[in-house]
Amino acid sequence: MSKVFEYYQRLAGAFGPSGREDAVREVIGGMAAEFCDDITTDALGSLICRKRGSGETRRKVLAAAHMDSIGVVATFIDDEGFIRFAPVGGLFKGDLVNIQVRFENGTRGVVSYEEKTPFKDVTLEQMFVDIGAAGKEDAEKRVKVGDFAVFDAPAFEQDGVICGPYMDNRIGCAALLLAMEQLPEAVENDLYFVFTVQEEVGLRGAGPAAFGVMPDYAVAVDVTDTGDLPEHKYAMDCHMGGGAAVKVMDRSVICAPEVRAALEEAAAGLGLKTQREILRVGGTDTSAIQKSGAGVCAGALSIATRYIHSPSEMCAVQDVVDAAAILARAMQLF
C-alpha cells in the first residue's frame, strides 16, 4: 500500500459533504499537527495550518485544498418510506443509479428511480433513496429531513492507480499533507496550508479563508478532468499518469503567470515532468482566492482524475507524489 493510498483512505473514510466537514477537519488536524506551528478554524469551518517563516523579507504563501465532497440531502420521506433528496454539489443521474449511500448516523441505502419514466427523461426529482424501511414511520427512525448522505463505495489501489469515492478532493488534501512533511524545519516564508469548506456548492469557504490570511501568493490543489478516455467529449491535453498539471485557466480563473512559472520551475528543479491544464468546464478554489481582499496572485496545481463526481474516481499515485513535491518546493521559491 502506498502512503498516498493510506492517506486517501483515512481522509475519504471521514464523513464530510459540503457544510458538514467536521469529521474530515478533525482527521486532517490530527495529521497536520506535528508539521505546523499553529492550527486554527475560521468561522465557516476551514482549517488553517501555519508554519512560521524566519526570513527577514518573508512572504505569506498559501496552499489550499477543499475538504468537502458532493452528496445528497433528504428533502421528503413518503408514506412507503422512500426518501427524496436534493443534490449537494454537482450530481449526474448516470452516476447515481443503484449506488449505495451512507448517512452520517451510519444508515445506508440505495439510490434508484421511478422506472415508469424512461431513463433519458429521468431527473433527480424522479430519484429516491431506499433504506429498506417498512414505511414512513420506520424510515424516520433512521433518517430525518435535512440529513446528509455521501457515496458509500469501496476503494482500491492497483498497479500505481487509486480508485474510489471522493478523490475530489481528499486526494488534494493528501497532497497538502505530504507537502508539509517534506518541508525543512526552518523555512523563509510564512506557509499556510488551508483546507477549505463548501467548495462544491460555490467556492464558499476559500474566499473568507484567504481574506483572513491575505497571502502574497497562493496555490490551490484540486483534481481536474482528463482527455485520455475514448471519444472524450472535448479535446484536453491532460492525462492520468502524465505528471502533476499546472493550471493555465478554467471557466472561473486565469492563473497568475508568476505562480505558474514558480510551479514549473519547482518541477524542473526536481526533475519532474508536468502537464499544462486548460479546463473548459468547471472551476476550483483558485478563483475565490484570487478575488479575495484586494486580490491575490494565485494559481493551481491539479491531479488528473477520471470519472470525477462519481463513486469511482481514479488517479495515478505518482501524480499525487509529484504534486506534493512540487508544491513543497514552490512554496519556498516565492
Specify which residues 278 forms β-bridges with: 249
CB 108 within 8 A of CB 100: yes
Q: How many angstroms separate the Cα of 199 from the Cα of each of 12, 70, 131?
A: 16, 9, 28
Is 199 labeled as catalytic in the residue annotation? yes
Provide DSSP, 125-162: GGEEEE---SSHHHHHTT--TT-EEEE----EEETTEE
Question: How many CB atoms sit inside 10 A of residue 181's CB?
Answer: 13
Residue from 21, 199, 277, 313 carrying the catalytic annotation: 199
Question: How far is Cα 130 from Cα 124, in angstroms, rounded to an integer?
Answer: 14
- Residue 15 and residue 72: Cα distance in Å, rounded? 12
Distance (Å, whole) CA 108 – CA 131: 6
* Residue 209 identity (one-letter amino acid): A
Residues forming the active site: 199
